[in-house]
Structure 1
């Protein structure tokens, strides 16, 4: 009887010397259940050696079965907790789903052990299983919204359309950073530091713009218009010089990125172009735009480049002008 604990201590010492932590988890999981099994085996051994009445022997057998099932439940509970705790820092799904995985595993193991125990005692479990099925259906109907969010949360965690840290825009217009992806809802922190709680069932059914995919860097587009008499080559060079300076000096810019200009429209009062910059994140794009507009406006003033006011040219016939002039003289 005393050799069991000594062997367990030897296993713990051996596992501590290895580089892998899996064996530590296994040894930790089996240590307490092994104690129960040793105790139960002692009870069974005594019942077989000593001359007890048949009913007493049967009672010892049932006690051993209960202890063995308890040891199995305890082993799987400790094993799952240990493995989830070991892999959670590496796997985001386990990190966000740790409690539910442990709880679900514990419930399954306990129910299975209970059915085995009842079956070994001669109790019919068929009516119990049928009752559980009917009860589960009633619960599912009563909690269909909650269960819908629950399974939607599983889909979000597995499919990963959004993860914590992503900057997203919902189809309702809200945009911000994902701070939590739970089983029932997802939390989004707006730029104004408000928290928007989105039920997972609505999240997976809506159109989401994820600015952090495929990576956090994103293009920053600034619309600019210049006078029709402007030298477009000169304008392009000035805008690119200012853009490069912004990329190198403003926090959130990409220093190695070369900004560029694309002319695209003959507007009512200006020739319009888009300045393409790049930022490390969506929130940085506001700072990039802010500084670029200030620097470009200053440089255009220094170089004599005109950003025209909206104007309209009226084409009036000469006869109509004479008529209007005559009325003014009267």
Structure 2
């Protein structure tokens, strides 16, 4: 889920740069899921690996697909009902959830350095996202009343929890099947079907999941396709990282996404330079460097 928020932010910048029209989030998510499914399928066929993974890993692959799909759909609902800054903060609780879930699901030990690293990174995100962030390139529903706001926050926490558990199933499945691409295909296949159902047009404009289809322009389609390909490689590197390293360390590196995005925004003068943002970037980078400095701790089989 954390990577989803960054992808939508980059989508906004590129859509605005090319003066493309606004697109419903479900269309962006559907394009992403289709590209991820097709790319992972072609990867598996080319490598000669089983499409649905070995028999001993299929339950893990199915669990990873379900939790990842729930996290994605809940995040899309959350990003439609909350300001982008709040939705992103909620999305970046996913590494926290992943570290805690790994303690119970994978029985991984959390060291003080792991906890401190994630805490520093999360506080850095709070500094970076303290002010509202607008999204113009991706269409967002009007914000509703206080009751719906609280409900959206709860949905965001559910998305983070599901995303954290998905990290654990992803790590377990990747290690069991010895092929991380299988976890990507299972997630992409289920998410494509779920998002396609949510894209069905509904006469009620207040429907929370369905939206009227908008035919993308050439620029919008190219940008969505390009970012979807990048999303596939991001999923691939994440799965491979979780295959090799502890969940807590990989989750902490995920915070680099928001720091790099803010640096990009400040470098392109789209985001105003402030003391809080500089402190946030420093916290995230110092935490990530410490995580990498302490080195890989590959588990002995």
Is the structural similarity TM-score above 0.5? no
Q: Which has the larger radius of gyration?
A: 1
Q: Comparing both structures, which one devotes a greater share of its residues to helix?
A: 2
TM tier, smaller: under 0.3
Q: TM-score, normalised by structure 1?
A: 0.21
Say which structure, 1 or 2, has more relative contact order (CA 8 Å, 6+ apart).
2
